[in-house]
Amino acid sequence: MKVLRVFHRDAVCIEGWESVREAARRMHAGGFSCLPVVSADGLVGIITERDVVEAMAGDDRPETATVFDYMTEAPKTVCPDDDCSVAATEMLSVGCRHLPVMDRGMLVGILSARDLLPFAATAGMGR
């Protein structure tokens, strides 16, 4: 099965100069576990729930800490035409639950480990 069939196409993004608090608000409002971080140059990182928790538990105040301070720079990505097994292998190799989906240098969505569950169930049954 291809990533194209299972990823979320409407990724809500954030810019690196925005606050971690704003990232938390956006995640909460949309029910997201991560946000791709973008700039005029395209994808520059990803910020996750774990990153937000780290910021909240740290010494920085979430109102002044920026996404740049806590994001993962240059995250691993997948393409819509990649096989789901490639995506799962990438997630396992870097220990993440989300991968930005890129097509010709453009961010087109987000793939989560949860999106891969139907693939894993089907693959496990020998289909």
pLDDT tens figures, 10-27: 889 999 999 999 999 999
For the ranges 12-26, 56-70, 81-95, which has the lowest average pLDDT? 56-70
pLDDT tens figures, 44-60: 999 999 999 999 887 66
Residue among 12, 32, 15 at smallest CA distance from 66: 15
Take residue 125 and report the two structure tokens written for it. Answer: 């049954």
Give the predicted TM-score (pTM) of the model: 0.87
Q: What does the alpha-carbon distance between residue 57 and residue 70 come to, in Å, rounded to a whole number?
A: 12
| Domains of the chain by start residue, with CATH | 3-124 (3.10.580.10)
pLDDT tens figures, 24-40: 999 999 999 999 999 99
Question: Band of the pLDDT at 125, cuts 50, 70, 90?
Answer: very low
Take residue 25 and report the two structure tokens written for it. Answer: 């608000």
Share of the chain above pLDDT 90, in %: 80
Bridge partners of 101? 78, 109
